[in-house]
Structure formats: structure tokens, C-alpha cells
Amino acid sequence: MVGAIDSPLGNGFGRKTTIDQAEWPPAPITPEALAALPVHVLVVGMNGSTAAVETARTQLENAVPSRFPPDTLSSMSPDSSRLLAGYKQLANVVILVSLPIAGCSLAVAVAAGLTERKRPFSVLRLTGVSVAMLRRVVALETVVPLVLTATVSIAVGFLAAQLFLHAQLDQTLVAPGPQYYLIVAVGLIAALAILASTLPMLSRITGPEAARFD
């Protein structure tokens, strides 16, 4: 036996069993229909010795030519692990980059909005409204949409992943670990910090001189 294969009765992604331990349920298909189906994967059981592996590899290459050479699962597993690790790293980078970018976009919108509304804000300051109150108003206008958008995006991502796994792989989505939520929290904090950097300009652009009407 070389390596391990996915169990036909496994319910979780990545559950493995050896070939001699696998219980293959009968398939509701006739021999004629089976003969018409294309071969997707050919699994060969052996004792794992180098001679047996090389003999099986040579016979498979001669009997079933393919652009992918025969390989053992023990050698394919590291490649699959590296590929999955690369996808995970890519997802983490996308999360860490997308949230600060969203924060930058909102910061530009906040700066433009403050410039357009500097006269109304100046009038409010003349009527006794404190700068801290105006900052809370601006923060409420920006933080709430950012948090809601991030929450909805995460929920839609989980839903899409669950639908894909169920439809294509007949698997169930497993909740991510604490690292995922930590990365999301760091991205949100970075986005909020970028937004907070625009609030000091509120006190600089609003004042009695900005409230004058020509």
C-alpha cells in the first residue's frame, strides 16, 4: 500500500483511510454503463517498496499514457499541502489589503464631504455644537457602513463557500480558526485608524470665517 486515499464513506474534507481499510459501497450502475464511463483516477495498491512503485509506474505509463506521470500519494501530499498553504496565505493577504484600501476610499470620501460641508458645520459650531459632537457624527457616518459592509461580505463569502463545497465536493464548510478572525480584526482596525486620521481636519476647516455668506 502506498500512501492513503479519500475514504468513500468519509464526511469531512481530508479524511483518509488506507485502501485495505476502505469499504466501497455498491454503485447503482450496470456493467454496460460502467464500461462507457471515462477513467478519472486509477489507484494501485502495493507494499510500498521502491521496486514495486517503479514497476507499477512503468506499467501505468505504458498502459495508460497521460500528460501527468503516475505518482504516489505520499509524494503528492506535500505538493497539495503547499498549494493549500499558498491559497490560505493569498486569502490572508487579500483580507489584510482590502480592508485598509476600503478605509482609504472612505477617508477620501470623508475629506471631500467635510470640504463640501464646512460652512454648515461652521454654522453648527457657532450655534454651540462642539467639535467632538461633529466628529462623532462624521464617525457614525463612516464607521457604520464600513463595519456593515465587512460583516455582509464575510457572511456572503461563507455562504458562497458552503454552497460550492456542498454542490461540487459534497462537503460541509468548517468554521475558520482564531487566526482568520484576528486577521479580519487587524484589517478593520487599520481601516478605522485611516478614517480617524481625517477627523482632525474638521476643526481646521470649520470656524467663524467659514460661516460667512458672501
Q: How far apart are CA 83 and CA 67, in angstroms?
A: 20
Residue 19: pLDDT band by 50, 70, 90 thresholds? low
Question: Highest mean pLDDT range out of 41-55, 173-187, 194-208?
Answer: 173-187
The grid cell for 102 is 476600503
DSSP state of 139: H
6 pLDDT more than 60: no
pTM of the model: 0.57
pLDDT in tens, 81-134: 677 778 788 888 888 888 888 888 888 888 888 888 888 888 888 788 888 888
The grid cell for 91 is 486569502
The grid cell for 48 is 510500498
Distances (CA, A) of 103 to 142, 155, 179, 214: 9, 20, 21, 36
- Cβ contact 114:205 at 8 Å: yes
